[in-house]
Amino acid sequence: MAPLPSSPRSVPEPALGIDLGTTYSLIAYLDAMGRPQSVRDRLGDVLMPSAVAVVESQVLVGREAVQAAVVTPERYADCFKRDMGRTAFRSPVGGKRVPPEVLSALVLERLKQEAERVLGPVGKAVITVPAYFDELRRKATQDAGRLGGWEVLDIINEPAAAALCCGQERGFFGLGQGRPGGRECVVVYDLGGGTFDVSLLEIDPTTFRTVATNGDFQLGGRDFDERLVAYLAERFLAAHRLDPRTDPRDAFRLWQEAQKAKHALSEHEKTSAVCAHAGIRMQIDLTRDVFEDLVADLLERTRVTTDLLVREAGLGWNDVDRVLLSGGATRMPMVSRILRELTGKEPDSSLSPDEAVAHGAALYAGMLLGGPGSSGPRRCELIHVNSHSLGVVGVEEKSREHVNAVLIPRNTPIPAQAVKSFRTFEEGQRDVAVPVVEGESERPEFCVLLGKCVVRDLPPRLPKGTWVDVAYRYLANGRLAVSAWVPDSGQSAEVEILRDRPAIRGTLVEWKERLLGGRPSPPEVGDARSDALPEVDLNDRTSVIKRLDALYMRVGRLAEKLTVPRLAGGSQRLVAEARAELNAKSRTVADVEGRREGAVGMGEAVQWGVELSRAQVAQRQAADYLFYACLVLGRECVQNGFCPPGAEADLEEIRRLRRFLK
C-alpha cells in the first residue's frame, strides 16, 4: 500500500527573502537542498513592478497597476520607496494621501499571495533595505512588512545580501580565494531602480564583515529614465511646439518608451523611441553615446562615492580583490566601463543583477530559522556597520548653542553601544527627555530627528543634578534600542523613544477601503469582456456600479470608430491600441493551441500546454485593459454630451442610475 501523504502542517515553513525594490520587487525561497529560488508569478515573471493603482472599485498591484496607469495615471503610484519614513509624501493616489508604508505593504501582500500560490501558507521573511537607509526608513520598512501580513525576521542590507548570494554561488560561504588565509576584500556596487549603495566587505569562510558603506537613496535607474524623458520631450517640443509632458497619459507613455530605449541601449548602439501627443506621433532616434552624455553626471556621482568609500576605509584599489555588481541598472555598459577605469579590475557580473539580493536574503532567513534549507549554505556571521552617525542634541557650555553630540560614528561595526550621562535639572525630577538624531553635521537642524529619548519613572526624591546614564545601542539590523539607569541608586528607569513620526495604524483592509472611498468590489472578469449587462438592484450600490460600468463600456464600444472631435482622439487611440493588443494576444493563443495539437510526444505537449496557459492569461489581461479603455471612452462621451448612434437607451439609463449614487 502506498504511504499516506504528509500533512501540510508537517512541512516546515520555507526560508523566504524579499527584495523590496523601488521599481521592482522579488521574493525568493530556499528549496529542499538549501538553494535559493525565485518565486515566479502566473506568467513566469520573477520581477513584480513596485506599483499601485486605484481603478474603479479595485486596488491593483504590480504589472496590472502599470497597465492601468496608461488610462488613469493620476490614480497610479510608484517609486514610493524613496519616501519611506518621511512625514510628507510626494504625490497622492487618486486624490488621497497615502503613506508610502501602506503602498509598500500592498506590494508585500501581493508577494505573499504569489509565494503562497507556489509554496503554501507562509508568514516569515527577511526584507532587504539599502545600506544607506537610516533608522526611520528601516523602521518604516518593518512597519510595511507587518501591515502586509509578514512576520519580519530581520532587516538586511542589500549589498550584504548580494555578497551572501555570491558566496553561495561559489560553493562555500566566504569567497575565500583572493588572499592567503581565505580572506577577500570585496566592493559591492549596487545600482538599483531607485537607490544606489556601495559597500566594502571583508569576507572569509565564517564571516561577512562590512567595513564601510555609503550611497544615495535618491539616485537610481529611475533618474536615468527621467533624463531620457526630458530629452525626448524637448525634441518633440522643438519640432511641434507642444510638450507631451502636459498630458498625464502621454507623459506616462513617454516614460515607458524611455525605459524601453534605455534597456535597448544596454544591448545595442542605436535604438528609437516614439513620442505621441495631440494626435502627433514622432519617432526619435537615439544612440548610446547620446544617452551616456545625458547621464554622465549621474554616473560620476556613483564613481566619486565609490572611490571615496575605499579611501575613507584607509585602503587603495590594490587592496580590493573583487568589485561585485548588483542591481538592474548595472546592466548599462557604461557602469562596467567606469568601474574598470576607476579600479583597474574587471567588475564581477556573474550574479543575476535582479535576483541576487532576494536570494541572499533567503539564505540569511535560512540561517535565522535554522530549519530546512539552512543546512545547505554554511552558517556564518554577518557583521554590519551603521550607515549614519547616531547622536543626541546637547548644549555647548560656552556658546550655549545646540550641538549634535555624536555617540556612535558612521561605519562603526554593529551591534554597538555608547553611554551618555545626563543630570537632572530639578529637585525630585522623575523624567528626562533628550532629542536623538541621526546624521554627520554638528548642527542638529541638518540631521534627522529620530525622536526623543524619554527616561521615565526615576526614583522619587532625587536631588537636583543627579546623574542618569543612558545607553544607546545599534542592533545588528540597524534599529535603535535604549536603556537607562541611575548610578547612585542602582535603579533602572523605563525608556521610550517618542518618534517624530508615529507608526502606521489600521489594517491594510481599512487602507484599501480608504483608497477606494467605500466603493464596492470590481466587476467579474466575465463582465469585463462581455456586452451583457449585469442585473441591477437599486438598493445595492455594488450592483448599480457594475451596471454603470457595463453601460459606459457599451457606449465606448459604439464610439470606438466614430469621429468625436471634442475628445481630441485621445481615448479613441487608447481603445484602438488596446483592441490591437487583444487581437495580437488572441492570435498568439490560436497559434500556441495549434502547436500543442501538433506536438510530438508528451514532453513537447506539456511544454506547449504551459505556453498556452501563459498566452491565455495575457489574453485575459488584454481583454480587461480593453474593457477599461472602452469604459473611459464611454464616460468621456457622456461627460462631453456626445451620444453615439444606438446608445440613446444606454445614456438614458446611465443618467437614471447616477442619481442613485448621489
The CA-atom distances, in angstroms, between 542 and each of 94, 603, 653 are 20, 46, 16
* 438 in the same domain as 586: no
In this structure, are 422 and 550 located in the same domain? no
Can you give the C-alpha Rg of the chain in angstroms? 28
pLDDT per 10-residue tile (average), the chain, 662 residues: 36 85 94 90 89 87 89 87 72 76 95 94 93 82 93 89 78 44 83 90 81 85 92 93 88 92 94 92 95 94 92 91 92 95 92 90 88 49 78 73 83 84 80 79 77 77 83 73 76 61 72 70 34 66 75 83 62 78 81 67 55 68 76 81 82 80 60
What is the longest distance spanned by two Cα atoms in the chain? 92
Residue 1 within a domain: no
Domain assignment present for residue 506? The answer is: no
Question: What was the pLDDT predicted at 491?
Answer: 67
Question: Exposure pattern of 208-219 as b/e (b: 16+ CB <10 Å)?
Answer: bbbbbbbbbbeb
In a domain, 601, yes or no: yes
Same domain for 106 and 152: yes
Say if residue 357 is in the same domain as residue 485: no
Stretch (H or E) spanning 633? helix 602-639
Co-location of 83 and 212 in the same domain: yes
Which pLDDT value is given to residue 4?
34
> Do the domain assignments include residue 122?
yes
Final residue of a domain: which of 367, 385, 403? 385
Q: Are residues 181 and 43 in the same domain?
A: yes
Q: How many domains in the chain?
A: 3
Co-location of 152 and 211 in the same domain: yes
Tell me whether residue 484 is in a domain: yes
Flag whether 241 is in a domain: no
Examine the domain organization and report whether 526 and 489 are in the same domain.
no
Residues 6 or more apart in contact with residue 487 via CB below 8 angstroms = 467, 469
Look up residue 120 and give its DSSP letter: S
pLDDT in tens, 33-89: 888 999 998 888 899 999 999 887 789 999 999 988 888 888 889 989 888 877 555
CATH number of the domain enclosing 420: 2.60.34.10
**CA 364 – CA 658 distance, rounded (Å):** 55
Residue 167: per-residue pLDDT: 73
Q: Which of 215, 84, 81, 221 is nearest to 160 (CA)?
A: 215
Domain end among 385, 402, 432: 385
Amino acid at 427: E
Which range of residues forms the domain containing residue 70?
Answer: 10-219+298-385
Same domain (yes/no): 364, 395: no
How many CB atoms are closer than 10 A to CB 428? Answer: 13
Single residue among 464, 499, 534 that ends a domain in this structure: 499
Query: Do 340 and 202 sit in the same domain of this protein?
Result: yes
Residue 228 included in any domain: no
**Any domain includes 588:** yes
Q: What is the pLDDT of residue 179?
A: 47
Residues 551 and 655 in one domain: yes
Same domain, residue pair 41 and 169: yes
